[in-house]
Structure 1
Amino acid sequence: MSTKGFYQEYEVFSKRTHTSPMQYQFSLLAPNAELALVMAQENFMRREPVVDIWVVKRSAMRKMTQEERETLQRIDNKDYRNTKGYGYLKKKWRHYEQEMLDEKEIMSWGGKLKQ
């Protein structure tokens, strides 16, 4: 009996929590989808908690062709839609606050403060 073609390749994805995204984990060889799921569960249940496991036959997966990938390129310039973030605001605000209450300004209050 030949084992050629008996095993199929499966890709395994898992989800650690209900809110986390699915993540690719590894590939495995199994004779059918049911056994592939059992093998994936055995591998994960011993190592880390998961809430969901997906097992997908590799032949059922499809990647984009070069022509399809080219359609993902933007035809027009819409860079204004891409946010650059607002990380600089915290630094800018801190600088503003420090300028407001620098030593020179506080000393200029002199006798204006009642004790």
Structure 2
Amino acid sequence: MSNENFFIYEVFSQKTVNAPFVQQFSLLAPNKEVALSMARENFLRRESCFNLWVVKRDDIFGLPPEERPFLERLDNKSYRETKGYGDLQSRWRHHREQYEEKQKHAGNGS
């Protein structure tokens, strides 16, 4: 039997209704129905799952390698990060202590 009429399918499984789909393995099949049947036979022997997908590898469209660097995050959005709030509690404590100290001195001075 020749592999000319067979296609590579990627098999994805979902463990629970809220879980993400995870790629499990690849297989050769003549069509999507046979691919799903083969995936079910192979995968369900190992573990249970909520859902199973097969996707023809040729139908997966992705970025070419030369465009992948454009996915790197731009570093001009630091205002969206919360790293500036890490010491907020100690800063508030310091201001409160200064305020209380001023109040104490103001009360003693009158």
Residues 54-65 of structure 1 aligned to structure 2 (within 5 Å): 54-65=53-64
Question: How far apart are 1:63 and its partner, in Å?
Answer: 1.3
Deviation at 1:79, TM superposition (A): 2.3
How far apart, in 2, do the equivalents of 1:26 and 1:50 lie?
A: 15
Match of 2:46 in 1: 47
Percent of residue pairs identical: 51
More helix by share: 2
Question: What RMSD in Å do the two structures reach over aligned CA positions?
Answer: 2.6
Deviation at 1:62, TM superposition (A): 1.2
Q: TM-score, length-normalised on structure 2? A: 0.65
Q: 1:45 deviation in Å?
A: 1.8
Q: What is the deviation of 1:75?
A: 5.0
Instruction: State the SS of the aligned residue for 2:49.
Output: coil
Instruction: Report how many residues are paired.
Output: 87
Unaligned runs of 5+ in 2: 90-110
> CA 1:76 to 1:48, structure 2 compared with 1: closer, same or farther past 3 Å?
closer
Which residue of structure 1 lines up, in the alignment, with residue 35 of structure 2?
36
Alpha-carbon distance in structure 2 between the residues aligned to 1:83 and 1:23: 30
SS across alignment from 2:20: coil
Question: What TM-score, normalized by structure 1, do the two folds share?
Answer: 0.62
Unaligned runs of 5+ in 1: 93-115
SS of residue paired to 2:10: strand
SS at match of 1:28: strand
* Alpha-carbon distance, 1:17 to partner: 0.5
* Secondary structure of residue in 1 paired with 2:71: coil
- Relative to structure 1, the CA distance from residue 74 to residue 49 in structure 2 (aligned partners, 3 Å threshold; closer, same or farther) is closer
